[in-house]
Each structure stands twice: as C-alpha cells, then as structure tokens.
Amino acid sequence: MAARHLHGNADGLMDLQIGGSCSLPRATSLFPNVRGSLGAGVDYINANTGDLGGIDYIDVISGVDQLVADGLADPDRLGIGGYSYGGYLSSWAITQTTRFKAAVSGGIIADWVSFYGTTDIPHYLRVFLEAPPSLTNHWQEHDLQSTIQRR
C-alpha cells in the first residue's frame, strides 16, 4: 500500500514533520513538493502558473510510478490525500486516473469561479490562473465541478 499526502497552497511546502497519524503500518508514504512548491527557486515555484493540476499532477504520478517501479508500493493498493490545494490536487488526480483505490480530500476548491468571487485572496488565483475568470478558459479547464460534469 502507498499513502500519499499533498500539501496545501499551490506554492506551499511539505515541511517533513511527520506525525504518527500520517503513516500507516506497512505502508509507503510519499510527501512530494511538486513543481509550484516553495524551496527550489523562482522558476520551480512558477512552473505550474496557469497549469494547476497539470505539471504538478504529472509530478504526483511520476512519484507514484517510481514507488511502484522500485517495489515500494503495490499498484493495486494506492491511496491519495491532501488538504487545501493538496485536497484539490488529490481530487483532480481521481478525475484523471483510476489508479487510486482511496482518496481523502479536505478543504478543496471545486469551483474556481465561485471561489474567486467569495475568497479573501482573489490575487492568489489571478497569479496562479493568470487572469480573472471572464478573461480565460484556464478556470474551467482546472475546475473540478466542470471536469466531473464532462465525464
């Protein structure tokens, strides 16, 4: 079994303070700092701008692929989870693949346009999705509600 936890904020950082509740007996855990995360320079933090659920999702899947290839994770017993942006990315992942048998997503943003209109951090979304909702289709491309409705 492999357990995955994705950090919050598209530009957040997993600080590796792993408590007992984060690990499972006989499980492999992966705590990635995907492209867009802090700690690896400006180009790295800007790598997922306008591409939420794109290149960072590829990083997640690449990490899982490596664990499976190394024999550290059972491909038939994969789980994923996260909170805030990590919750969004976990939810996004289960709309893109059936590899994960379990998912836990907390504090997710399922509708970017609604979130933009009600949040106290609209500047954050303008940075990561590059424009207000009416000026780009990035918003709908990365919106969980729209993705689920298309399936």
- Global pTM reads 0.69
**Per-residue pLDDT tens for 40-66?**
777 867 777 777 778 888 888 999 999
CATH code where residue 56 lies: 3.40.50.1820
**Per-residue pLDDT tens for 14-31?**
444 445 455 555 677 777
**Per-residue pLDDT tens for 79-88?**
998 888 888 8
Average pLDDT of the segment spanning 99-112: 86
Could you give the maximum distance between any two Cα atoms of the chain, in Å?
Answer: 48
> Residue 17's pLDDT is what?
47
Confidence of residue 99 (pLDDT cuts 50, 70, 90): very high
> Residue 65's pLDDT is what?
92
Residue 142's domain comprises 2-150
Confidence check: pLDDT of 69 > 90: yes
Q: Which residues are within 8 A (CB) of 79 and not within 5 positions of it... i.e. 6 or more apart?
A: 1, 2, 3, 4, 100, 101, 102, 103, 104
**Per-residue pLDDT tens for 110-132?**
777 777 778 887 777 777 776 66
Specify the number of domains making up the chain. Answer: 1
